[in-house]
């Protein structure tokens, strides 16, 4: 599974990155998690950061989803692989 956190490196971006890593660890799901800070790449996907891409699909932008929401999204994405 490929997960991208889109943002300039702000506190919210890092918080979403940590919540993502924690949720994946709790679920035992192996994923490639990357923080994308390139403004050109970010602007292709979102107008507001942080953004969350799972396997190339936009799931969230401009907010930090709850841990339970993240877990649900990761489980659903893992089931599709």
The series of mean pLDDT values per 10 residues for the chain, 81 residues long, is 96 97 97 97 96 97 97 96 75
For residue 50, cis peptide bond before it (omega within 30 degrees of 0): yes
Tell me if residue 13 is catalytic.
yes
d(CA 42, CA 29): 25
Contact call for residues 52 and 61 (beta carbons, < 8 A): yes
Question: Which of these is catalytic: 5, 6, 13, 19?
Answer: 13
Please state whether the predicted TM-score (pTM) of the whole model is above 0.85: yes
Residue 10 is among the residues annotated as catalytic for this protein: yes
Question: Which CATH number describes the domain made up of 2-79?
Answer: 3.40.30.10
Domain boundaries of the chain, sorted by first residue:
2-79
Active-site residue, selected from the candidate residues 9, 10, 18, 76: 10
Task: Please tell me whether residue 68 adopts helix, strand or coil conformation.
Answer: helix
What is residue 81's predicted lDDT score, i.e. its pLDDT? 75
């Amino acid at each position: 599974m490929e997960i991208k956190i889109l943002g300039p490196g702000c506190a919210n971006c890092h918080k979403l990155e940590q919540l993502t890593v924690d949720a994946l660890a709790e679920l035992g799901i192996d994923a490639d998690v990357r923080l994308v800070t390139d403004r050109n790449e970010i602007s292709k996907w979102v107008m507001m950061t942080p953004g969350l891409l799972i396997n190339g699909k936009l799931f969230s932008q401009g907010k930090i989803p709850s841990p339970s929401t993240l877990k649900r999204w990761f489980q659903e994405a893992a089931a599709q692989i």
